[in-house]
Amino acid sequence: MALPAALRERFITWALRVRPPEPSPIVLSQRRVYVLPTRAGLGYAAALLVMLIGSINYNLGLGHVLTFLLGGLGVVAILHTFRNLVRLKVSHGRTPPVFAGEMAVFHLLLGSDVERRALRLWLPEGGDARVDVPADEPADVRLALPAERRGWLALPRIGLETTWPLGLIRAWAYCAPDARCLVYPRPAAKAPPLPWAQSRDTGKHGGGGRGRDDFAGFRNHQPADPPRHVAWKHTARRSEEAPLLTKQFEGATTASRVWLDWQATPEGDVEARLSILTRWALEAHASGFEWGLRLPETHLAPGSGQAHLDTALRMLALHGRDAH
């Protein structure tokens, strides 16, 4: 079994015609598209052979006409199947980051100046997708791949095939787009509480912030909220299904900053510590306060917002890995 697999891999490497990964757009030239009959095509050819022998044996003129008519149809099908794939343009689109353990979804854009029908794309791991490509309008194809480890996940070699229009002929090609997905560490299912008590700095007075003078209302409770701000009495008067609420204040503000420090995580496996920091980053972002990140070789200044969270998760994903 090992020898056929090695031979197949050598053929695929040769069939790519270029060294992967390939820059976009990838154009499937005539030399990269291969054609062979399907099982239905082999049965079709066998039936034509039987019809031809019968027509010759019994001297059937109409039998000859039908046999050669169907034979010509098969030859035309070869041309149409080949043209349905050749000169197709393949480009990689945006691939959103995911957490380890999720499915990475790679977006591929297929373009052509003529309509392409019934195309199938597949990955060596088994994922596939089917699509029709309209003329002069790119089609977005999504291929899913398990993201098992943090860091960069490169899109492996993909295959493209079609049996359109009659299913008698299979045309296929290979390509290796230069596409990759950033995989964040898996958030820890059970993480210690945020190091809140070690992270509070008294800020300057100013309006519009989170202070302790004037009551401004309630909001849904976040894991990083201080326990003394939880509306315990208000929650006790409501039903058990009611969400936990936190008091909001305006006036003299206390600028709350959380430092997510590598040294504050339990000593042990690197991946486990990164998972805890990832969970802390998500909780700190949900709290709405400013927070920073300290890693052994770098740090991120306190900030807030989605861009700040994305930067922190990228740092965690590439910790100890090649950033490029």
CB within 8 Å of 24: residues ≥ 6 apart = 90, 91, 92, 177, 178
**How many Å is the maximal CA-CA distance in the chain?**
106
Residue 1: per-residue pLDDT? 43
Would you call the peptide bond into 165 cis, given omega within 30 degrees of 0 as the criterion? yes
Closest CA to 248 of 257, 238, 256, 258: 256
Range in 2-6, 72-76, 295-299 the model is least confident about: 2-6
165-208 tens-digit pLDDT: 999 999 999 999 999 999 999 999 888 888 765 554 544 433 44
Is pLDDT above 60 for 288?
Answer: yes
What's the mean pLDDT in 39-48? 96
241-274 tens-digit pLDDT: 556 767 665 543 344 678 999 998 988 899 999 9
Supply the pTM of this predicted model.
Answer: 0.76
Helices 61-83, 39-58: crossing angle, 10 deg rounding: 160
